[in-house]
Amino acid sequence: MSLYPSLEDMKVDQMGRAQVQMMGEIAQQQQQQQQQPQQQLPYPLQPAKAPPPPPHLEHLYPALDDYMGLEFTQEILAANMPEYLPPPPPTTGPHHGAPPYPIPTQEILAANMPEYLPPPPPTTTGPHHGAPPYPIPTQGAVLPIGVTSVVPTGGIGSTGMMLAPLSGQTQAIQRSHVTNAIREVTVCKASDGKVGMRVKAINKGIFVCLVKKESPAAMAGVRFGDQVLQVCGVTVAGYSMDKVHDILRKAPNNGIVIAVRDRPFERAVTLHKDSTGHIGFQFKDGEVTAIVKDSSAARNGLLIEHYLLEVNGQNVVGVRDKDISNIINECGPTVSVTIMPVFVYKHIMKHMAANLIKKMDHSIPDL
């Protein structure tokens, strides 16, 4: 089953598959017509040329050239009545019956136009089952407009790939991709004895509600909304916020190992700008308040009553609406926004002081 970052990517991929299939069928039909031998008819298409009359009968059958003063030579017929000329004899060479244009072979298509090759037969096993019939660029390749790309779907044990013929292998999708997978990060304490993050207890779980800029936690890749599972080997499920902070305070200065699950309450939505540069939603104080009809936001399922947390992977929690709009305007044609339901966001940010929110890390994450 194919996965896509946006509805537009799915539609473009479906159109590309249909075009490739159609071109493949046309090329196959033409190739079959070339390979079929010409059927021999039981009778000749042109009458045999009549033998010349015997010499002693020439005076009885005068030639048409001199008959009643008329001239019916081949040149006269070609100049005045070409429809009365006999058709040219059929050829029997290798190009007999060929169309007036050359038909490319499979080798020529593979070397010059691989996108027009017919789709390969579907496989039933292996990690590439259901792969698209067009070439997939490798990691780091320069992607021109219209080239299909893939993005790994992530997750432990996952072998699926995300097809992105329109979005391409953009850094925006990679930075904002929410995997919900578990990873380990190793942090140390800064000169003030802190790791640079705060947590919040929600439904017996511990979630990151603040990552300070230029802190050890920020440099280790901890993100807003990550769920903390273990700290120094201690499972923190059911712990209070203060108890987890106390564990971090008592931890050694170096080698603090934290197991986190990637942002379980969040999801990323990939959007595409229209001809006017808009992606189709309105927001106030970071909360999505309206969706424009028939826009990319509407097509891809963006919801109201959700908070904007990231734009192309850059954290925007606590950022003014004007600055968020500027970040979106500076993005390319593809924009990926990460959102969280309002009730979860308000629970995480409850009792968070304004001066702490201003210290939030807003740097662009490394890939």
CATH 3.40.50.300 fits 267-357, yes or no: no
Q: Please report the pLDDT score of residue 163 as a whole number.
A: 79
Alpha-carbon distance 218 to 189, whole Å? 12
Instruction: State both tokens at 365.
Output: 């994450």
Q: Please report the pLDDT score of residue 305 as a whole number.
A: 96
Kindly report, as residue ranges, where domains of CATH 2.30.42.10 are found in the chain. Answer: 182-261, 267-357
Show the low-confidence residues of the chain (pLDDT under 70).
1-2, 36-74, 76-77, 80-162, 169
Alpha-carbon distance 351 to 330, whole Å? 33
Please name which of 296, 293, 308, 364 lies closest in space to residue 338, comparing C-alpha atoms.
Answer: 308
Q: Please report the pLDDT score of residue 139 as a whole number.
A: 37
Q: Please report the pLDDT score of residue 106 as a whole number.
A: 66
Residues forming a β-bridge with 208: 199
Phi and psi angles of residue 301, each rounded to the nearest 5 degrees, phi first: 80, 25
182-261: CATH, from 3.40.50.1000, 1.20.1090.10, 3.40.250.10, 2.30.42.10: 2.30.42.10
Q: Please report the pLDDT score of residue 198 as a whole number.
A: 95
What global pTM score does this model have?
Answer: 0.65
